[in-house]
Amino acid sequence: MKSKFLRILLAVAATFTFSALAQTGSAATPSNPVAPSSTPATTPATPPPTTGKVGTINIQDAIFGSNEGQRDMQALQKKYEPKQAELKSSNDELEGLKKQLSTQQDKLNEDALATLRKQIEGKQKTFDRSVQDAQEEIGNQQQDIASRILQKMAPLVVKYAQENGYTLIVDTSKPWPQSPVLWWNPDAVDITKNVVDAYNVQSGVAAPPPAAGGAAKPGAPKPSTGTGAAKPAVPKTETPK
């Protein structure tokens, strides 16, 4: 998800930056060039150097912490509840067979033991494929939600930065060394909450009711705890020895 997020965000940010530079260059160049005067022009004073104002944003928290992101993730959670129940049932059946193998392998003859092991291996492969398919499908739909919201949120981030005098906004969705940001003071420079509040007003989406059992922020490839809605979970089992 990181690469897709950053490609979209950087593309939008670049568009705004290039547009601003073009407008600045256009304003600085006279539309009707004047012939050079014989009088020497006064050399303009060099402006004093300015200190750039840097801000940070956890774009993943901003997307899935917004009212729209929470609403859509809760809808995704509900959509996959039947599939989650189906996988849990398959997992329970598989665990039961493994327990049977563990407790009865000394009592079963070779043919019965071979049959039980083959049954477990077949069900394990089927279950693993089902889990992988579900994870990929859920992940793709999470990306769709994130991309759709980011396309609307990215211009707002740029607008907020420009209006508040920021020269650089850094994404802190991933910790160092996954990202180049080693340390920052969120109380001083983080704009995530401000962007979320502004986006909630812009989107007009009301805050959804809290999700049952708390909320878990989706991630890639594995979810991590944090702000946002819960990613539909799928059970995992160990391959029998």
* CA separation for the pair 114, 105 (Å, rounded): 10
Run of H or E including 170: strand 168-171
What is residue 157's predicted lDDT score, i.e. its pLDDT?
96
What is residue 203's predicted lDDT score, i.e. its pLDDT?
94
The dihedral through the CA atoms of 187, 59, 204, 140 has a sign that is: negative
Which pair of structure tokens corresponds to residue 54? Answer: 């840097």
**Residue 43 located in a structural domain:** no
Which pair of structure tokens corresponds to residue 84? Answer: 């989650």
Amino acid at 95: E
* CA separation for the pair 108, 129 (Å, rounded): 29
> pTM above the 0.85 mark?
no
Which pair of structure tokens corresponds to residue 110? Answer: 């070779």
* CA separation for the pair 138, 140 (Å, rounded): 5
What is residue 227's predicted lDDT score, i.e. its pLDDT?
36
**Residue 72 located in a structural domain:** yes
Phi, psi of 42 (to 5 degrees): -80, 130
* CA separation for the pair 111, 122 (Å, rounded): 16
Q: Residue 5: which of 135, 154, 126 has the closest Cα? A: 154
The answer to whether 59 and 195 are in contact (CB under 8 A) is no
**Residue 132 located in a structural domain:** yes
Torsion angle of C-alpha atoms 211, 186, 181, 67, degrees rounded to 10: 30
**Residue 240 located in a structural domain:** no
**Residue 180 located in a structural domain:** yes
* CA separation for the pair 146, 154 (Å, rounded): 11
CA distances in angstroms from 88 to 63, 92, 131, 152, 186, listed in the order given = 30, 6, 10, 37, 40
Phi, psi of 51 (to 5 degrees): -90, 125
**What residues contact residue 53 under an 8 Å CB cut-off, 6+ apart?**
164, 165, 166, 167, 168
Helix (H, G, I), strand (E, B) or coil at 224: strand
What is residue 184's predicted lDDT score, i.e. its pLDDT?
87
**Residue 221 located in a structural domain:** no
The tally of domains found in the chain comes to 1
Give exposure, 183-192, as e/b (b: 16+ Cβ within 10 Å). Answer: eeeeeebbbb
85-127 pLDDT per residue, tens: 999 999 999 999 999 999 988 888 999 999 999 999 999 999 9
Q: Residue 226: which of 58, 41, 8 has the closest Cα? A: 58
**Residue 146 located in a structural domain:** yes
**What residues contact residue 142 under an 8 Å CB cut-off, 6+ apart?**
1, 73, 76, 218, 220, 231
**Residue 102 located in a structural domain:** yes
Return per-residue pLDDT of the chain as tens, 241 residues.
433 333 434 343 333 333 333 333 333 334 444 444 444 555 556 555 556 799 999 999 999 999 999 999 999 999 999 999 999 999 999 999 999 999 988 888 999 999 999 999 999 999 999 999 999 999 999 999 999 999 999 999 999 999 999 999 999 999 888 888 888 888 889 999 999 999 999 999 999 998 765 544 554 333 333 333 334 444 444 444 4
* Residue 88 belongs to domain spanning: 2-11+54-210
